[in-house]
Amino acid sequence: MAKITFITQNNIPVVVEGEAGSVMALAVENNIAGIDGDCGGVCSCATCHVHVAQEQFALVGEASEIEKDMLELDDDANEYSRLCCQIDITPALDGLVLTVAG
Amino acid sequence: MKKYQSSDPFKDARVTSGCAHMNDQDDPVTMILRLKDVRKTAHNWKTFQSGATPGRIVIPSEVNIRDTRQIPFEVDPPLHGSFRSLLDPWFKRPLEEHYQETLAQQVNALVDDVLKAESIDVVEDFALCLQSRALTLLLNTDVGEADTWISWGTHVFRSEDDPLDGDKAAILYDYIDEKIKASSPNPEGDLYSVLLAAEVEGKKLTHEEIKGIMILTFAGGRDTVINAVTNTISYFAQHPESLDRLRKEPEIIGRAIEELIRYFTPLTQMGRVVTQDTQVCEHAIKANSRVSLCWASANRDESVFESPNDVILDRKLNPHVSFGFSHHNCLGATHARQIMRVLIETLVAKVGSIDIIDFEENIENLGEFERKVGFRQLNINIHPR
């Protein structure tokens, strides 16, 4: 079980809980604004872009090359960007704070 | 070669050069073949524009058969974004439960019909009907309208003998003109009425703008959906074990949809007009010439996809560009994905096996390349579970 906080574009934090699966799927289940997950989580659509809190970036780790290539062309990307369909929920993510990009 | 297979004619050119050239009605095209280059080019709308002469970014060019600008497809930012803001919520309706239930009823009824038939042509008897009936949902219009659209045949622009049949295009344009004239503004009505009631950047839409949106909605989702459905059936005909697997592992259906759409890439390419002298993968490209974003080649890029020529139903990392990329990504993608999901779920529930009797492939001639994009005919026997 991990509690994850999403901060949406109107700056309202939403705390949700998940056990397994991807962070994107958790966000979609909970109707987090700005996370669409159109491609279902195969890293094709870039509609699940989040910024990880700087001090927590090590928890989720670096993006893969394929994911970095997607982010490279996203105007809102920064060094703490991730596509959250590529982050699997584990207990280690408890307390993670993600800001929805865009 | 297996009947469902879609070959990768671009491989040598993609690996050795990254680009290729084709002529199209004396308006040549530089085809961009690698995934990264395709994505970068699609993203750079200032240098590679969509808002050129209407019809010019389509390959083959429709400049000689169409004056109406398709919207938002042939509009560049920032106006493009204003139209997308208006249209995106409407085109996300396929995520609603009622929409999905009605679509499932349509597909169930159609599959029940073909299970009773001796044999069917998947293109005419199944995919065209499915696409047309589903489009009534996207337009929020009477399902009876589908009969008219079915009577137009498989491509609203392309007849059997002539890929750019102006008379056939006129049928669609005249039909849309009449429909807009017969509609009244109503934000709760069908798409014509909703657009008549809508504003973009503080202004009501003109007849010509509404017509441009409607032409895109009809044309963009016609042969693409028909190709996706027909190719998917051909794949399951040759892979009954995949139907079994999806029955046992329904959780991978989402990945299977993306993989089938990657592998078959229902739309081979889309053009852009170059606004200034530039280069793509070290090839010089002149201002006012055309490039194409070759989705079909990019989706087989061996530097990105493992075993690109295999269908791997549960492929986890699949950064395909079958729905385009960046600003102009496919407006109808949510509808298309929902059609694929309902189709696969229905086949899994009802169909045991499919036998291919005979077929005629639909081959595109693209300069030095020939690419199978689907079938002109696919005659099958389909057997219940």
List per-residue pLDDT tens for chain B, 385 residues long: 466 788 999 999 999 999 999 999 999 999 999 999 999 999 999 999 999 999 999 999 999 989 999 999 999 999 999 999 999 999 999 999 999 999 999 999 999 999 999 899 999 999 999 999 999 999 999 999 999 999 988 766 554 556 566 777 888 999 999 999 999 999 999 999 999 999 999 999 999 999 999 999 999 999 999 999 999 999 999 999 999 999 999 999 999 999 999 999 999 999 999 999 999 988 899 999 999 999 999 999 999 999 999 999 999 999 999 999 999 999 999 999 999 999 999 999 999 999 999 999 999 999 999 999 999 999 999 999 9
pLDDT surpasses 70 at A46:
yes
CB-based contact A40 B36, cutoff 8 Å? no
Out of A40, A70, A73, the one facing B258 most closely (by C-beta) is: A40
**A-B C-beta contacts closer than 8 Å:** 46
A46 to chain B, closest Cα gap in Å? 9
Q: Is B85 on the interface with A (CB under 8 A)?
A: no
Tokens representing residue B296 in the block: 């079909």
Which pLDDT belongs to residue B158? Answer: 57
DSSP letters for B143-192: TTHHHHHHHT-S-SS--SS-TT-HHHHHHHHHHHHHHHHH----TTS-HH
The predicted-structure confidence for A50-84, as pLDDT tens digits, reads as follows 999 999 999 999 999 999 999 999 989 999 999 99
CB-based contact A42 B316, cutoff 8 Å? yes
CB-based contact A43 B319, cutoff 8 Å? yes
Which pLDDT belongs to residue B177? Answer: 97
Which pLDDT belongs to residue B260? Answer: 98
Residue B236 to residues B185, B271, B338, B367, Cα–Cα distance (Å): 44, 32, 18, 31
Which pLDDT belongs to residue B243? Answer: 96
Which pLDDT belongs to residue B163? Answer: 58
Q: Which residues numbered 243-262 in B keep a CB inside 8 Å of some CB on A? A: 254-255, 257-258
Out of A38, A43, A69, the one facing B334 most closely (by C-beta) is: A38
Q: Are strands B120-121 and B48-49 parallel, antiparallel or unpaired?
A: unpaired
Q: Chain A residues with CB-CB distance to B under 8 A?
A: 38-45, 64, 66, 69-70, 73
Nearest CA in chain B to A67: B319
Which pLDDT belongs to residue B6? Answer: 85
Which pLDDT belongs to residue B5? Answer: 82
Interface test with B, best of A35, A38, A64 (most B CBs within 10 A): A38
**What residue segments make up the domains of chain B, in order of their start?**
11-384
Interface test with B, best of A29, A31, A36, A42 (most B CBs within 10 A): A42
Distance of CA B313 to the CA centre of its chain: 20
Sorted by where each starts, the structural domains of chain A and their CATH numbers stand as 2-100 (3.10.20.30)
Contacts of A29 in chain B (CB under 8 A): none
Contacts of B319 in chain A (CB under 8 A): 42-44, 66, 69-70
Percentage with pLDDT > 90 across chain A: 93
Which pLDDT belongs to residue B157? Answer: 57
Q: Which residues pair with A46 in a beta bridge?
A: none
Phi, psi of B147 (to 5 degrees): -60, -40
Closest by alpha carbon to B126, among B229, B222, B221, B3?
A: B229
For B11-384, give the CATH class. Answer: mainly alpha
Nearest CA in chain B to A65: B304
Contacts of B326 in chain A (CB under 8 A): 73
